[in-house]
Amino acid sequence: MDDAHFLSASDAAQAIDNGELTSDELVRACLDHIVDVEDTIQAWAHIDPNMALAQASELDEWRRLGHPLGPLHGVPIGIKDIIDSAGLPCEFGTEIHAGRKPEQDATLVGLLREAGAVIMGKTVTAELAVLTPGKTHNPHNPDHTPGGSSSGSAASVAAGMVPLAVGTQTNGSMIRPASYCGVYGFKPSYGRISRHGVLQQSHILDTIGVYGRSIDDIALIADVLMTFDAQDPDMRPIARPQVAKILAEEPPMPPRLAFIRTPAWEQADDSTKEAFRELIDHLNEGDETIDLLELSEQFDDVYDVHRRIMLSGLAKNFAREYSDSKDKLSALLCEMIEEGQGVSESDYINDVERIEEYNTILDLIFEDYDAALTPSTTGEAPVGLESTGSPIFCTIWTLCGTPAINLPILQGPNGLPLGVQMVSHKGDDARLLRTAKWLMQRLES
């Protein structure tokens, strides 16, 4: 297959299982394409072709011997460079940790290997996964940002380098790059994927997410990763959500959707507002009606609450980098850490308690609606690589721990992707993906 590197993960896994494609062939196709486009996109922090091909060879031999195959057998995956992967550097996007090479896998990397995935390499992250950009360019126009902090993960999938990649989100680091790069990006409910072996910013907010070329791809990898791990103290031993199984089912009735205009609505570009008006009008032409909801005034301080929690976490978790190597940190990150140092313990505790209050309001909304639509970003990817863009349309959903997925539906005035974010009740990850697939099929019909 000359274009094997553009296969979805689901199709690639099926082709390998059927003997129509080997993992070696797929990995070589991806590596060849990386050679063709990496100079322009610069999505990779570290990549070892020989290591990737050795994994593919072992997996092909495993299949030849007739052993059972994992759900991701032979499928190449990119890993954000804040996630430990044995044998590869993990430098957190900063020279402070240059040369760091962990000896053990993060839990999620171990789960991927167990499922048969090929770890292709480490994708570029913003500095310590915060705001100062890495070297990655937007695959649709290299003069524009790919977003951040999971810039390399989103760009690598969008550019056809790998069918799947893993990222993280503490504010908008999954959904924003997905929107800017035009791919599916899924941030599951808080506490559903282990963060053991992953750089910590804020244990209250940090969430692992995934990128793919279809919702089926998202379900495929989510089922592998959404596994309880006692090494992550914020995970709970609950049943796996069986995402792919539920995704394959038809909704028992047409899902009921709302459009939520958050307090950030006025920060959306005019073109974004118009695109959403047209989308809602189009959807309302059918049998169902999408209701317009305004979040109550109780959410007016939500961005300040999130900021204090996040910056307090940065101050705590990056204390050593700040005290020992402040001169090697960006001025922006230093300012954020210093602001976090000023957050009192009582304010932090009060802010964390507010999360439950916000979720009580959202619980009432999602009693009546299967999911809600809202912008993923203020607009299409901004020009320039000095900034990763605004995460403000992701903040509420990250703070409240609700699942969110970027749907690459719209287009901005400059022809760049513009994502639609769909969110749902905390813990309803599988139903969210099923509703998202139902919506995409409706739009395509």
Q: To the nearest 10°, the Cα dihedral for 85, 89, 93, 95?
A: 150
Helices (H), 369-407: 395-400
The residue assigned the tokens 């050593």 is: 320
Strand order in the sheet with 44-47: 44-47, 118-123, 76-80, 164-169, 207-212, 184-187, 404-411, 417-423, 371-375, 257-261, 291-294
Cβ-contact 379, 268 below 8 angstroms: yes
Instruction: Let me know the angle formed at the C-alpha of 175 by 232 and 95, rounded to the nearest 5 degrees.
Output: 65
Query: Residue 291's pLDDT is what?
Result: 94
Candidates 396, 6, 353, 358; CA nearest to 187 is 396
Query: Residue 1's pLDDT is what?
Result: 66
Number of domains in the chain: 1
Residues of the chain under the 70 pLDDT cut: 1-2
Candidates 195, 186, 170; CA nearest to 306 is 170
- What are the backbone dihedrals phi and psi of residue 27, each rounded to the nearest 5 degrees, phi first? -65, -40
Candidates 135, 138, 137, 197; CA nearest to 168 is 197
Q: Which residues are CB-contacts of 339 (< 8 A; sequence separation ≥ 6)?
A: 311, 315
Residues annotated catalytic, as ranges: 80, 149, 173
- Cα gap 139→144, rounded to integer Å: 9
The tally of CA atoms less than 13 A away on the side-chain side of residue 388 is 31
Instruction: Let me know the angle formed at the C-alpha of 199 by 30 and 144, rounded to the nearest 5 degrees.
Output: 50
The DSSP H or E segment spanning 253 is none
- What are the backbone dihedrals phi and psi of residue 10, each rounded to the nearest 5 degrees, phi first? -65, -45
Rounded to whole angstroms, the maximal C-alpha distance in the chain is: 62
CATH number where 354 lies: 3.90.1300.10
* Number of neighbours of residue 286 by Cβ within 10 angstroms: 11
pTM over 0.75: yes
- Cα gap 261→295, rounded to integer Å: 7
Question: What is the domain extent for residue 386?
Answer: 1-445
Q: How far is CA 113 from CA 75, 103, 368, 379, 416, in A?
A: 10, 15, 40, 37, 34
Query: Residue 91's pLDDT is what?
Result: 98
Q: What is the SS3 assignment for 35?
A: helix
Q: To the nearest 10°, the Cα dihedral for 409, 439, 72, 150?
A: 40
Tell me the torsion sign for CA atoms 438, 212, 160, 148: positive
Candidates 293, 265, 290; CA nearest to 280 is 290
* Number of neighbours of residue 315 by Cβ within 10 angstroms: 18
- Cα gap 280→272, rounded to integer Å: 12
- What are the backbone dihedrals phi and psi of residue 143, each rounded to the nearest 5 degrees, phi first? -80, -5
- Cα gap 323→305, rounded to integer Å: 26
Tell me the torsion sign for CA atoms 6, 8, 14, 16: positive
User: Which amino acid appears at position 4 of this protein?
Assistant: A
Q: What is the SS3 assignment for 78?
A: strand
DSSP-assigned beta bridge partners for residue 76: 118
Q: What is the mean pLDDT of the chain?
A: 97
